[in-house]
Each structure stands twice: as C-alpha cells, then as structure tokens.
Chain A
Amino acid sequence: MSEYTYINEREYMKSNKLRFIVFLLMFSMIAIACGGDATEETSEAPETTEAPQETLAAPATTAPTPEKLVIWAEEKIAIALEPLVGAYESAAGVDIEVVIYDFGAIKNDVLTAGPAGEGPDLFVGPHDMVGEIVANGVVAPLDLGSIASDIFDVGITAFSYGGDVYGFPYATEAIAMYYNADLVDGVPSTWEEVKAACDAAGTELCVGAPGGGGGGDAYHNHPFFASDGGYIFKFDGGFDPNDVGLDNAGAIASAEYLDSLVKNGTVASTDYGASMTAFQEGRSLFWMTGPWARNDAAAVNYGVGLIPTFNGNPATPFVGVRGMFVSAFSENKVLAQSFILDFFSTVDVQAAMYAQDPRLPATKSLFAVVEAQDPIAAQFAASASNGIPMPNIPEMGNVWGPVGDAMLIIRDQNYGTNEDTGVTVNSAADAMKLAAQQVRDAIAGG
C-alpha cells in the first residue's frame, strides 16, 4: 500500500512538468482552432467594409471576400452544376458551394436546419412538398417573371400554392407504358387491343403495373381512377382539400373498368419488383412505369408508348416535378433568386443537367433540344402532358395510404368482409367509396 502511494506521488511530481507540456499543447490547438475561425469570420462579413472612399471611380466591391450561396442538390444535379458554376462564380464574384444531398432527405433537413440557421440558400426538391414547406415557413416565394413562359403549365401548377409560385421546375416525370419491342409493335390505344396483343403474343402476363401484389401504390395506380373524371383533390387555382373526388361517377367507372381488366387478366397483380422482373424476363408484354426505369427495361428490346385510354379519354398519370427553391432563411434572397433566374434556368445549364440525369424537361427550350435526340423521352413527355401534378398540399399525406389500399383491393381482388372491422368491400365501387371516406375523415380529423 505504501509503495503504491509512493509511486503515485512520484508520478504526481513528474506530472507537473507534464501538465505544462499538455497545456502548451492545448493552447496551440486552441490557437489553431481559433485561427481557422478568425479567417472564416472575416470572410463572412463583406458588407461591413466601407469600400469606396471619396472617388467615384472606386467601385463598391473592394470587399475582400465574395458573397456565398450554399445549394443543396442531389448528386447528379451537383455533378452537372459543378463544372458550370465556375463561370458564374467568376462573372458574379460569388462563392457557390454545392452540397451533395440525398434527394429524399432534403425536405426533412431543410425543415430542421433552416430554422436553426444552418440551412442552405437554395435547395432542390419534389413539388409535392411545396405545401408543407410553405406551411412551415421555410421557403420563399419565387416570381418567375419572364421565364415563366418557357415553363410547361404543369410545372407552374405544381409549384403554385396559395396564389404564389415557390420554385423553378427543372424536371418532370410521369409514367407511361413500356412494351417489349420483340413481341409487339407498340402500345395499342385501347385496353381491349392490349388484351388482344397479349393473347397473340402468348406471354404469361399481359401488363405488369406496380401497385398490386401486396404493395399498395397510389402513384402508379392513378390513371386507373383519375382518367375519366375522378380526382383526388379538385384543382382550381390550388388543390382544394375539401373537395375529394375519389368516389365520383368517373372515379368509380374507371375503377370498375380496372376491376374487369384484372379479372380478364389484362392487368397483372404485381408490385414494383415483380412487374420489373416479369418484363425483364419477357414474361410480360407491357410494363407501366416511369422513365427512371429505362436502364432496367433495357434488359429487353423495349419501346415506350402512351398508357391506353379510358372510355376514350387519355390516361392521366401523376406528374412529379422537381424544382429549385429559395430558402426563407437565406441571408441573401435577392442573390439566391438571381442565381435561379439568371443562371440556373438557362438552357445550357438545363441541358447539362439533362445530360447527367435525363428526366423529362420542364422547360420548352430544353424540350426542343431533347425531343430531337431522344424519342423515348418525348413519349414520356407526351404522357406527362396528359397528366396532372401530384397535389402539393400537406393534406396529400392523408391520401397515399387509403388510396393505395383501395387500389390494392381491386388489383389483388381481395374482396370480402373484414373479420375485425366488419366492413364489407365487394366491388371496386365499395373500395373507392371507402378510400374517399377515409380521406375525408382524416382531413376533418386534422
């Protein structure tokens, strides 16, 4: 015991010297840390410089470091922007930082980082989050001015909320119909002809569409209830959460028609994965999905056509639109919106982005470029032009579940009386009425 304390004391004496070294070390580290900080601080305060003195020739820009814009973008957009922003940076004298972000994570992080003062100045995102980020006050309106005329109407509609436009749409996407070009010449215009084509080709399945096979999916099923007068929310300048059209005559007629298509084997009961493998293996003649799947579809010799009509009406797919937003917490909104209006929206930048991430163009000028070189993209664009944008109001959160479930009942023919709730769904009409009721209740219940 005594030996132990002795050693400890000796250690203690030694450690006095050591402490000095340690504190010296600490001090140098702090100096390094603060040093880094200090340079940053000066870089962040250009406005304080009282630049021009008496002479007028001296411009106001003797500010040592430029203004800075932080952009959150998904990887492909960031890669496309990276080589281009240099030109804007030097012409404008700004410092632009493009941060690569997971597309799906942007909304959540903008909602939390913005109010905390750590958000970006500009960010990309899907249009269906517009209502939510506006309600949360994290996005600033964007007056598109003269460039609005270059944008397809569906893009403007998608970003309109409460009378204002909140983003610049740069890409759209919508589903269409892939066909196996070795087995069929194209997509017929009616479902009866589709059925006949499948019978002639003799494939195991006819149309593989996601949204069945246990995987509820209101997105892919949208044409099946909304092509003949049905709708989720009525659009009249903005989407009206109190006008639900899931059980109107048109929606029910379409759903009943889908029911007959499922019963006669035209539309298979497949989820996304199953519909994909069936098409890739040549077991289905058609595949109903979007342009993101072109690489997957390339397993066979494929072509793309419009989804067949419903009661003579063109199929209306859901249109998703991607856009660039200005954060409400940006310190420099004028600069941020200038970046969009003056640089990001130009056809050169848009074309570079298309080269990286070939989604359907949202601008007419880019469409003109793309149409000539990519006929398949043009088919998807034609399909999108018949579609409607996904409602961008926050109430849409109440819709995906009920509608996906109702369509799943029809697609999987899962009719009957539920043992737990005692509710009977024996027809497509019942399923649509149930979904409509669930959506209305949910909206009423907040």
Chain B
Amino acid sequence: MKFSTFVRYLFLAVFNSFIIYLVPVTIAFESWFLLTIIIIISFLINITYLTNRLKPLKWITPGMIFLLSFVVFPAAYSFYVSFTNWSTGHILTKQQAIERLEDMTFTNDNQKGVEFDLYILQDQDLDFYFLADLDPDKLLFGKAIKKEEYSQVFYATHEPSFKDLNGNISIPDEYYLLSAKEQIANSSELQDLALLIDKNTRVQLYNISVFGASSGRLLSAQQKYSYYAEADILYDNVNNLECNLGNRGNFICDGETIDPGWRITVGTENYKRIVEDERFRGPLRIVTFWTFQFAFFAVLATFFIGLLLSVTLNKESLKFQKIYRSIYILPYAIPGFISILVFKGLLNPDFGLVNEWFAPVYELFNIEPINWFRTKASSRTAVLLVNAWLGFPYMFLITTGALQSIPKELLEAAKVDGATSRQSFWRITFPLLLVSISPLLIGAFAFNFNNFTLIFLLTSGGPPIVGADVAVGYTDILISFTYDLAIAGGRGYQFGLAASVTTIIFLIVLLISAISFRYSKRLERVYGNL
C-alpha cells in the first residue's frame, strides 16, 4: 500500500465521519437545504476519490466546492435577500413572530407591581400546586395548570390553615414543599404553569430565590395577543381589537404596526427605492462617480509606482538588488488596518507629522497648511495617497515577476535593430507586461471598488456632504455608503436594502471585468505571438 493512498483514504474517512456526524445535527435543526447540500457534496467527494475513473475531477472538486460555498452561494444568497424585507423588526419567520406575540403577557393596571411569596407544592400524583401569600386575607392555594387547561375551572381558594399560629407556612402532610433547588430542577415545567385566581387573573412563578423566598407576580389570565390561524388574524386582548395582516409582514392593530414582524419577499421594492427615493438619488450620483474615480486612480497610482520601482530595480548590474526589493515589499507585510490608522495619525492636520514636515514648505510658498480630511479635495487626495502606499508593493511584486518572464532575446533583438531603451520599453516590454498583468489589474480595480476597510478606517466617509438628504461623505464609496445607509444609519439594520445595493455593485464589477477581460484577450491575441 502506497503512503499517498493511505493518506487519501484517511482524509476520506475523516471527511465521511464528519459528514455522518453532521447529518443528524442538520435533521435536528430541520435545515433541509443544508442537508441536501451536505449529501450531494459528500456523494460527489466519495465517488470522485473512491474510483480511479474520474481523474480530472480529483483536482477540480475541492476548488469547485470552495467556489460554490464561498463565492456562488453568498452571491446567490445576497441576491435572494435583496428581494426580501429582511430588516429590523422583520428578522423572524412568521411562525416565530407569532410565537413571540402569543408569548406576550400583560398585567391589569391595578395589579401591576404586586409581588408576593410563592410556594411550590407537589402531591402524590406529582401534580404541582401553588400557594401564593398575597396578604393575610389571601393565602391562595390551588392546582397549577397549563394554558390549555385554563378553561377548566381550577380557581385558587383561600386556605388560612396553611399557616400556623406564628404566621409560618405549614404544609399538610399530603403535600410536599419544594425547596428552591427542586424548583429550579423543575423550572422548565413550572414556568408554563399558573394558578388561576379568577377569570381574569393568574399567578405565575417569577423569581426562584435560592437565598430567600421565591416570588410570584400577577398577570392577566389572558395573553396579550391571540392568533387565529384560520382567519390569519391577531386579536389584541388588552384593547379588544382585531388586528389584520399588513402587507409588509406585520399585523396592524388600529393603524399601528405590531412588532415583531416577519420576513416576506417584497419583489423589486428595494431596487425601486434606490432608484426612486429622492433622498438616495442625489448622494448616490456623487458617490457612484467618486467610486469609479477612486478605483481607477487607485489602480493607476499603485501600478505606476510599482512599475517604476520594478523597472528601476530590474537592472541585473544593481548591487543589493534583493535587499532593495525586500524593503519595497515591506509595506505589504504590515496589516492594512495598522498602516491606515498610522496614516490617520500622520495626516492629522494639527498634530500630524506630515504637516509638521511640510511646515517649511508651507512657509516658503506662504500657503495655508493642508487641512487633511476636512475638505473634499484634501480628503480624497489623502485616501488615494494612503491607498498608493498600501497598494504599490503588490503591483511592484507582480510587475517584477512579469518583467522577469519577458524573453531577453526580444530586447536584444530590438537593441540590434537600433531601438532606444525607451522605444523598446514602450513597444516591447510594456505591451507584453500588460498581457500577463491586465487580469490582475482588473482584480485590483474590483478590490478597490469595494475597498471598505480603507475608507471606513481612514475617513469613515467624511468630510460630510453638507446639505445631502442622507448623512454621506465625500470619500464614501458605494460599499461604505451602503453600510451607512443600511447598517450603521437608519432604523436598525436593513439587510434587504443593503443586499440590493450589493447586488448592483456586484453587477457593475462583473460588467467591468467582463469588458476588460475581453480587451485583455485581444491584447493577448496581438502580442501573444511574439
């Protein structure tokens, strides 16, 4: 038996045992969708690796699974969410929302705040009884019953005999008094039990006290809302109102929407809102335009700096070439969020080092120190500058690699033909470079199009666009605008709205990538034969 085969089967065994462990779990949570996926994936994996007939699939399958689960599925799910009203007040399913509503209790006004000692008793049949010490004239005793039994009359009775002459509780022999520990052991059953005092009032266990006496509270015998499934209506028992189904995933009582609501699909409403809502439209225009500008100039600046450095350092005669190269890659090794926060400090207009360093320059030309982050132009410049710092090592890295893969014969031939070094760079090196690098430039564009971290940490979108209808800033790009609109600002979270903007961003990036790839393919056709 070969070692590799053994390893393969070992991995397969671990994988399968994990899957078999997952199956009952998913069944328990009733997530049938996940179960289907799990079964399909495990079937695929087993078929692929247990036979030798599907060789190519062995290489493709893992990648495909990751692609599906981390790219295709999230995209498809966002797309689905964009057609729902998933937002604050609408995160539950209808069934869960109704359960919550039916769980709500209320206390009649004159009984609010009444707190009393409550004793839990058990008889020989293990039925529970409550003894509520409301006041000297009301030592109420009776069987604790479930909600379904309220209609059967088990009203509590005043039982002065349960107290001895000193006012201490004394329980008749046929009952057993539960200690706090025993109450807690049975608490999940006790929480559903109540002692009915009269038609309208019940006593419910409220606080099981380990250190003192347990206490109870008075509640209305009715729940706050009752749901009638046949008519699909909710009844408000406090105000005696019939609440009808609203069209937004809510019940509506007397014109007022009742929280919690539930998730429903709302069609293209979220998209319509983005396009039609006056409040979004104005800022959206500014933000979209700047997003394109930012992504374009971010790629341009980093590419230019990276290329300049890689071409400069590509001379073979250069001493310490490797050391220089390592130094220029260093910024890449520092986590972006640290660099960003450092730059935020450096660029501080009042105390930052940048303005301190430039103080002589400002003086020389007699100009005002630049107010970084406070004006439209300066903050946008700052964002691009910091991004150039963060991004150039990547470009430096890939262009260095690409430069080294260009055959030297071509450049030598050009030299023989009498081309200047500038001519041979622009006519030979650069086009060949673009062939191999343009997909990566497209990737960089897509990345910067959604460069949330930079914007969020450096400027948080600021400075504000004064007078815009929503709070939005000049350095906000589409993704940070979405965040402000649907997550940070607004009435809680609006996942549906956020998902619809995300879907639009996704489509924009997809479109741009498709066009650019087409263009780069043409480049390849032209220069690939060289």
- Give A contacts to B, CB under 8 Å: 8, 11-12, 14-15, 17-19, 22-23, 25-26, 29-30, 33-34, 37, 46-47, 50-52, 54, 56-57, 59-61, 63, 66-67, 88, 91-94, 111-112, 115-117, 132, 134-138, 140, 143, 145-146, 213-216, 269-271, 273-274, 277-278, 328, 331-335, 337-338, 341-343, 346, 394-395, 397-398, 400-402, 404-405, 408-409, 412, 414, 418-425, 434, 438, 441-443, 445-446
Contact = CB atoms under 8 A, between A and B. Distances in A.
Given A112-B91, A145-B215, A441-B279, 5 more contacts: A33-B21, A332-B187, A401-B484, A402-B471, A421-B467
A275 B205 CA distance: 52
Given A332-B188, A397-B490, A50 B209 contact: no
Interface stretch (B75-83, B318-326, B457-465): B457-465
B90 to A, nearest CB: 8
A274 B350 contact: yes
B206 to A, nearest CB: 7
B17 A136 contact: no
**4 cross-chain pairs, A with B, having the tightest CB-CB distances, nearest first:** A423-B467, A401-B471, A137-B260, A421-B467
B372 to A, nearest CB: 8
Contacts of B471: 400-402, 404-405, 438
Interface stretch (B7-15, B307-315, B396-404, B409-417): B7-15
Contacts of B91: 111-112, 115, 136, 138
A414 B374 contact: yes
A442 B1 CA distance: 70
Given A52-B122, A342-B207, A397-B489, A59 B459 contact: no
A341 B205 CA distance: 13
Contact of A46 (B1, B24, B185, B344): B185
B26 to A, nearest CB: 12
B289 to A, nearest CB: 10
Nearest to A117: B29
A67 B466 contact: no
B469 interface: yes
B93 A273 contact: no
B2 A56 contact: no
A52 B115 CA distance: 30
B206 A60 contact: no
Given A47-B188, A117-B29, A338 B279 contact: no
Most A Cβ at <10 Å: residue of B103, B373, B467: B467
Interface string B159-195: 0000000000000011110111110111111110000
Contact of A216 (B181, B277, B464): B464
Given A46-B185, A91-B210, A216-B464, A19 B191 contact: no
Contacts, number: 268
Contacts of A214: 349, 372-374, 379, 459, 462-463
B282 interface: yes
Contacts of B374: 214, 412, 414
14 contacts: A33-B20, A60-B122, A117-B29, A136-B88, A136-B89, A137-B92, A137-B97, A215-B460, A273-B344, A277-B351, A332-B187, A335-B188, A335-B208, A337-B207
Contacts of A213: 348-350, 373
B259 A438 contact: no
B407 interface: no
B187 A342 contact: no
B211 interface: yes
A433 to B, nearest CB: 11
B185 A145 contact: no
A424 to B, nearest CB: 8
A4 B212 CA distance: 81
B286 interface: yes
B96 interface: yes
A382 to B, nearest CB: 30
Contacts of A46: 185
B124 interface: yes
A93 B96 contact: no
Given A25-B13, A61-B182, A401-B484, A145 B277 contact: no
Given A59-B182, A60-B122, A401-B488, A92 B191 contact: no
Interface string B471-502: 11000000000001000111111000000000
Contacts of A19: 9
Contact of B176 (A47, A59, A140, A421): A59
Contact of B100 (A52, A63, A116, A137): A137
Contact of A22 (B9, B207, B468, B470): B9
A438 B211 contact: no
Nearest to B464: A405
A54 B176 CA distance: 12
A442 B490 contact: yes
A15 B5 contact: yes
B311 to A, nearest CB: 37
B211 A445 contact: no
A34 B469 CA distance: 58
A189 to B, nearest CB: 28
B350 A269 contact: yes
A92 B277 contact: no
A405 B466 contact: yes
Nearest to A31: B17
A335 B187 contact: yes
A333 B206 CA distance: 9
A67 B184 contact: yes
A136 B464 contact: no
Contacts of B466: 405, 409, 414, 418, 421, 423, 425, 434
A274 B351 contact: yes
A103 B261 CA distance: 26
Contacts of B1: 14-15, 17-18
B96 A54 contact: no
B345 interface: yes
A346 B14 CA distance: 49
Contacts of A269: 350
Nearest to A65: B185
A141 to B, nearest CB: 8
B462 A274 contact: no
